[in-house]
Chains A and B, each alone.
Chain A
Amino acid sequence: MIRATAIFGGLLAIALPLSLLAGRVWLDPATTPNAALILAELRLPRALLAIVVGAGLGASGAAMQGYLRNPLADPGLFGIAPGAALGAVAALWFGYAAAPFLLPTFALLGAAGAMALLAAIAGRTGGIALFTLAGLMVASLAGALTALAISMAPNAFAMSEIVMWLNGALTDRSWREVWLAAPVVSVGVVLLWRAGRALDALTLGDAVARSLGIDTSRLLWLLIMGVGLTVGASVAVAGIIGFVGLIVPHLVRPLTDRRPSQLIVPSALAGALLVLVADSAVRVLPLVTELRLGIALSLLGAPFFLWLLVRMRRGLA
């Protein structure tokens, strides 16, 4: 874990200043007019938000893969991201999005609703199969309601705003979003980190974990809270950004001893690095309009997922 933490922490320390300079206009602090203002009010909050969002998604991906003992698990599968998206879409639908804090607050409420549903269905028994099915059901319900909201949008502008928002981006984000997301994601990452040793025990199966004194119901609660806070806050400030939670643990795992507990912190750093670099890249790409971050990461993530499947089929994963 120390090696992976040092590598991804070091890369992040290099990438952060570079990302502050990168953009449609490359910033030269010495010559660019209003460089300090651009840095302080636009680029720094955006970079920090990329780090916060990426860290939350990376850590929750590592924890979910550990919990489900499946390298193909992604926190997006379990209903919390679609729940948060539904909350945000509701804010856009009712025209509340212009008011500060209302859209992310709605999104956090949506995530909380999804978490409550998951806990109500699967929390008492702590079974993995029930949890997965409950997550898929919540995701499917939230997805259907989101589609309904889009199809019944009050006007074309609202529809376009919803669709654009769902694609996920960090464009035009400010310190407000950073202050909202950072504490929530931090608490979520700490909860996931605390689940580490219990996830290690699950390596040998549910029965062995219980025989080692692990309270699997408490573990499930930790995960629902941890993933709910990290993913919910990420979606609240950035929209849907998929595949980070899936990809990142695979980048980290070879640099660790592969115990799930050793993946959480380095995955947070690697997730932060991936989202920061991807967000810098979409700013630099010479396109007419900026490529949405969610679309860019999906374009990167889907082939990676296919490659993983092929690798698993060959029995190498």
Chain B
Amino acid sequence: MMLSARNLTIGDRLSDISLDLEPGSITVICGPNGAGKSTLLEALSGLLLPDTGTVTLNSDLLADMEGRTRARLLGYLPQTHEIAWDVTVRSIVELGRLPFGDRSAAPVDTALEALDIGQLADRRAQSLSGGETARVLLARVLAGEPRWILADEPLAALDIAHQLALLRHLRVAASSGKGVVLVLHDLAHAMNHADRVIVLDDGAKAADGKPRDALSPKLIERVWGVPCRWIGEAGGQALVTGPSVTQS
């Protein structure tokens, strides 16, 4: 079930973006602040209608799709961790079942177990730590068993252990055939965990391809204005930045 965008333009935030995303892999969208990453993710989720251009899921236009049908296929996780009321973890995760009009225990329990938060099911939202909240909100997406997971900065506010754990969960989801699209600021995570990286700059695609190609030091310097180089082995690389790194 391919997710495609054609000539997507939204105000002055995105201009003429076209891409085809394959399920079963992790695609990371990177770019400086204001590059249009969240706008692209919202458009791919069907939450933002483009001024011109189209988003299609297996050649069905998202704009024409009924809200519930779209919600069963695309799971969207926003950047904010808003939980307005002090509800239980289980009732948050059960919201993932809303497009199906049920509160089936099995997918909810599976999602809770997948993120290792089964023991938190009866806890109240306000008693959760930042890391627990992030996992609960991702579990809400998984409970809807969507074909695609689109998450905006899911690693923000998480410590390194929780970041790696969340990335492992997303890799498991991708391996099971789901499409995973992430907006990430951390270029090292993008380099080490993505199958494909799309770099946006000022609303346009600056690079699109394998992480080592899309995130070359040359491109990072051009887009972010930061001299840098990669160190370490493939799958565990780190980005060293600063004016002197290119000479060393």
Q: Which of B70, B83, B99 sits near A204, CB closer than 8 Å?
A: B83
Residues of B within 8 A of A207 (CB): 42, 47, 76, 78
Residues of B within 8 A of A202 (CB): 84
| Given A200-B95, A211-B45, A212-B98, A205:B82 Cβ within 8 A | yes
Residue A210, interface by CB 8 Å: yes
Residues of B within 8 A of A248 (CB): none
With the chains together, A201 CA to B87 CA distance in Å? 12
Categorize the interface residue count of chain B: 20 to 34
Residues of A within 8 A of B78 (CB): 205, 207-208, 211
Residues of A within 8 A of B47 (CB): 207, 210-211
B130 to chain A, nearest CB (A): 16
Residues of A within 8 A of B190 (CB): none
Residue A197, interface by CB 8 Å: yes
Chain B, 89-124, CB within 8 A of any chain A CB: 91-92, 95-96, 98-99
The answer to whether A212 and B95 touch across the interface, beta carbons within 8 angstroms, is yes
Residue B88, interface by CB 8 Å: yes
Q: Which of B68, B84, B91 sits near A213, CB closer than 8 Å?
A: B68
With the chains together, A97 CA to B66 CA distance in Å? 49
Chain B, 167-187, CB within 8 A of any chain A CB: none
A200 to chain B, nearest CB (A): 6
Residue B71, interface by CB 8 Å: yes
With the chains together, A165 CA to B80 CA distance in Å? 46
A257 to chain B, nearest CB (A): 6
B152 to chain A, nearest CB (A): 9
The answer to whether B42 and A203 touch across the interface, beta carbons within 8 angstroms, is no
Residues of A within 8 A of B228 (CB): none
Q: Can you list, as one digit per residue, whether each of B35-76 has a CB less than 8 Å from chain A (1) or not (0)?
A: 000000010011100000000000000000011111110111
With the chains together, A293 CA to B174 CA distance in Å? 62
The answer to whether A259 and B71 touch across the interface, beta carbons within 8 angstroms, is no
Categorize the interface residue count of chain A: 20 to 34
The answer to whether B99 and A203 touch across the interface, beta carbons within 8 angstroms, is no
Residue of B nearest to A210 (CB): B47
The answer to whether A213 and B67 touch across the interface, beta carbons within 8 angstroms, is yes
With the chains together, A212 CA to B75 CA distance in Å? 8
Residue B166, interface by CB 8 Å: no
Residue of B nearest to A207 (CB): B78
The answer to whether A204 and B82 touch across the interface, beta carbons within 8 angstroms, is yes
With the chains together, A203 CA to B140 CA distance in Å? 12
A144 to chain B, nearest CB (A): 33
The answer to whether B74 and A211 touch across the interface, beta carbons within 8 angstroms, is yes
The answer to whether A215 and B67 touch across the interface, beta carbons within 8 angstroms, is yes
10 nearest A-B residue pairs (beta carbon): A213-B71, A211-B76, A69-B84, A213-B67, A213-B68, A205-B82, A213-B99, A212-B98, A207-B78, A203-B84
On B, residues with C-beta under 8 Å from A are 42, 45-47, 66-72, 74-76, 78, 80, 82-88, 91-92, 95-96, 98-99, 137, 140, 144
Supply 23 A–B pairs (Cβ within 8 Å), ascending by A.
A69-B84, A202-B84, A203-B83, A203-B92, A204-B83, A204-B92, A204-B95, A204-B140, A205-B78, A205-B80, A207-B42, A208-B76, A208-B78, A208-B95, A210-B47, A211-B47, A211-B78, A212-B96, A213-B67, A213-B68, A213-B69, A257-B91, A259-B85
